[in-house]
Structure formats: C-alpha cells, structure tokens
Structure 1
C-alpha cells in the first residue's frame, strides 16, 4: 500500500489534491469510521454515558454527532466545549495511532458546535463594531483554534479591521485591531 504523508494532505484543500490522492484519502476516511465509533463508544461507556454515534462521511473527514440524554449533554460538552474538544483531540490521536493519517474530525453534541459558532459570530460582530467606534483593540477570551478561525473570518467580513492571534497554548486568543491601512475617516 503506498504511503502518503497525511500532513501534506491537510495543508491543501481536497479540491486541490491530485486525482490519485483523493481515492487514498477517501479510503482512509472510510477505514476511520469503525475506529472512531469503537473508540467513542468505549470511552463514553467507561464514563457510564449511553450514546448513539452518528457518523457522516465528508469530503475531507468525518462529522460525528453524539446523541445522548440531555442530562449527559452538558457532561460531554463541558465548560465552553472543553470536554468535547478534548474528546475530539483524543479521537484524532487514535486515528493517527492506527496509521490512518490526518483528516478533519468534528465531534458535536446536541448542536453545540453550530450554537457556539453563531454565538462567536455575534461576539465578533459586536467587538468589531466597538473597535471601529473606539479605535481601541479588543481582546477575546482564550479559545480553540477552530473558534479563533470563526472569529478571524467573521471580523474580516466587516472591513476596516484586522485580527491577530496572541498568546500560547491554552491562553491563545484573538485580538481585533482597527486596520490602519483602511483610511482614517472614522
């Protein structure tokens, strides 16, 4: 079986991959489904959480919905999604340990990810408007790379602003600045 460096595949979008690389990624994604399902059911079973794992195969990875009781949703999500992020990280590590390479994997519980994205978009819009009004930078709370990306993209849509990520590790956060190159009309 030919070896492909999974890191290279993840630096390009799947639409840019050559035709010979797409089937290999699709094959790895298909092989990942039972691995992820078994891992999640085992770990959550150890926690005493009854869960149904629904896995959707996407072009560049997997999206897993963990369907459980409302009482267990909070346990699986954790404060600001920390538990869900940790579980997602561990599932990715299991895939790498199984030599399935890197791929996108998203875990969700009760629509938390879409609710959080909507909330982040609203926060980013409010912060962006405040920065435009005051001319002072706005520092967001520390957040995951996925959440920082949502904030960066939303603020870019506003215009007249720029963003940077600052800090390291668990303290990494987004800062919104007025874009000094956009003109001084405000």
Structure 2
C-alpha cells in the first residue's frame, strides 16, 4: 500500500521519510511521510546510534564486480592525493623512516587498493559489506528495500535516486524500517550522525 501523497520525483525526496512495515498477514507496505508530520522524538535514541561504521548501501543494475572496481579507482585517487599515510582496510603505511610517504604512496596505494578490490569481488571485506550499488529511480529502490529490509542496519546510508537516507530503525529489531533524509538528520544537532562519509553516496 502506498500513501496517496508522496514525492513526485527525486527533487522532492528530501522532504519525506520512508516507512517500510510488515503487517500481521505478512504483507509488506511502504508509506512516504512528510517530514513536517514526522515525530522525531520517537527516533531520538535510534538516530543517536547512527555510526560511520555502518557503511553506505548503494543499489543499481551494476554488479558487485563493477562496484568493487569503482571503489578501487576511488581508493587509489584518495590515497595518492593524501599528504599523509591513510588506512586501507586493516593496513596503513608505517615505513616512513625507510621510504617517505610521498615516495611510497604511489605503489603502496595501487597495491593495497587492488587487494581490497580483489577481496570485495570475492564478497569479503568492508567494501563488500557496504555493497548494494545505486538506485537510479524511486520505485525499484522501494521494491529492493522491502525485499532486503531485514538486512538493513540502523545507521546505514541508502541512496535513492541520488538522495541519501539514513536507516533510523532497523526492521531486524522488530519494528518498522524508517529511512530519514540524511541532510535532514545531519542538520538536527541532537540526532547528528557521528561522521558518516557521503563520498560514495554522492558520486
């Protein structure tokens, strides 16, 4: 069941929260609720649990291999542009006494970003955990979210038609899944996420 009123397109998404709920008969419904009518007080505790470690859920027609390759390219770009050693997975360059970072970063970044991409393609590691590609339109995104609602953790950032949403209540916790526009949450100082990075969400 869909609400009579809702976003008319991607340009309106930031004005709504998306609620996904399973009814007693097993039917899964969704409802777009205007933020002006939403009771944020009920979500204070769950929004406070938003963490940058939850990752970004990206959904599209692209498969895992293409996603991992995109992450590798971005990883190399970010790593080689850094003036100080960066962490890639569980590794960080610590041999600066032997070879300065400005000299070592090129080959080190290439090798370690590639290793992460290989693990990602095997559905392993943090990149694979964050995987889901990017939704380009609203309805397919809603269908996907309904199907995968129990896998979405509180604090996950989900991109729908270019607009980032934060999962405020996880369906796996027994309640409805509530997705709030990330910008709206970030502008609320009481429920502000720790430091979730939107680099992947806005590319």
Q: Normalised by the size of structure 2, how large is the TM-score?
A: 0.26
Instruction: Judging by fraction of residues, say which structure has more helix.
Output: 1
Higher RCO by CA contacts (8 Å cutoff, separation 6 or greater): 2
Q: Normalised by the size of structure 1, how large is the TM-score?
A: 0.28
